[in-house]
Amino acid sequence: MTGKFLTLEGTEGAGKSTNLSFIKEWLTEQGIEVISTREPGGTEIGEAVRGILLNQDFTAMHEDTELLLMFAARAQHLREKILPALAQGKWVISDRFTDASYAYQGAARGMGFERIAQIEQWVQQGVHPDTTFVFDLPIEVGMARVAARGGETDRFEQEKHDFFEKVRGAYLTRAAQAPERYKVLDASQSLESVQAAIVARLQSLISEA
């Protein structure tokens, strides 16, 4: 028996973390065993790597280093946490996964998709999410939400508006190329309306399981 693998993607302040908790709670109420996790991170080693990746003092980080660290954390995450949970029939929800590497490193950093696809194949060996929710909203709306929430900024949040437009565009392009895997949500709508769309997709996933 294998569980389902769900991922949440989008630009900053789009509502991924908020809805991760909602999805976990909703699935648990349906009697499904679920674990939630995040990238970069998810394991003790992955969280240590996250600390390096987000450290805003590390302005000298080369884009190759950034990409390889993302996948180093992911390799550990898959083997230590995601695959064992799926094998036990649990559902796994991750706040970000490989689509973020395509969007941030591939599109926004301009590294291209080919190299990422090669590393993806090497690390994941064909493992992909069953469903990816893309929380889509204008960049300035997400930034305003993050500003209102307060807290520390990280190395990625130092980037300019144009960087995040490329990220947003890449997510939408990938979603359009594989509509059966992606569910694009209008994250500028109220939380209630976003969550109603999420529940509709979860119900159809449960009926397929």
Footprint of ligand Z5A on this chain (CB under 6 A)? Answer: 10, 12-18, 39-40, 70, 95-96, 100-101, 104-105, 145-146, 149, 156-157, 187, 190-191, 194
Nearer to ligand Z5A, 90 or 168 (CB): 168
Closest approach, Cβ 89 to ligand Z5A, in A, equals 25
- The residue (of 155 and 206) whose beta carbon lies closer to ligand Z5A is 155
In the complex, minimum distance from the CB of residue 203 to ligand Z5A, in angstroms, rounded to a whole number = 20
Rounded Cα gap, residues 14 and 103, in angstroms? 15
Q: What gap in Å lies between CA 89 and CA 2, rounded to an integer?
A: 4
Output the smallest distance, CB 26 to ligand Z5A, in A. 16
Q: Which is nearer to ligand Z5A, 36 or 105 (CB)?
A: 105
Cβ 167 to ligand Z5A, closest distance in Å?
8
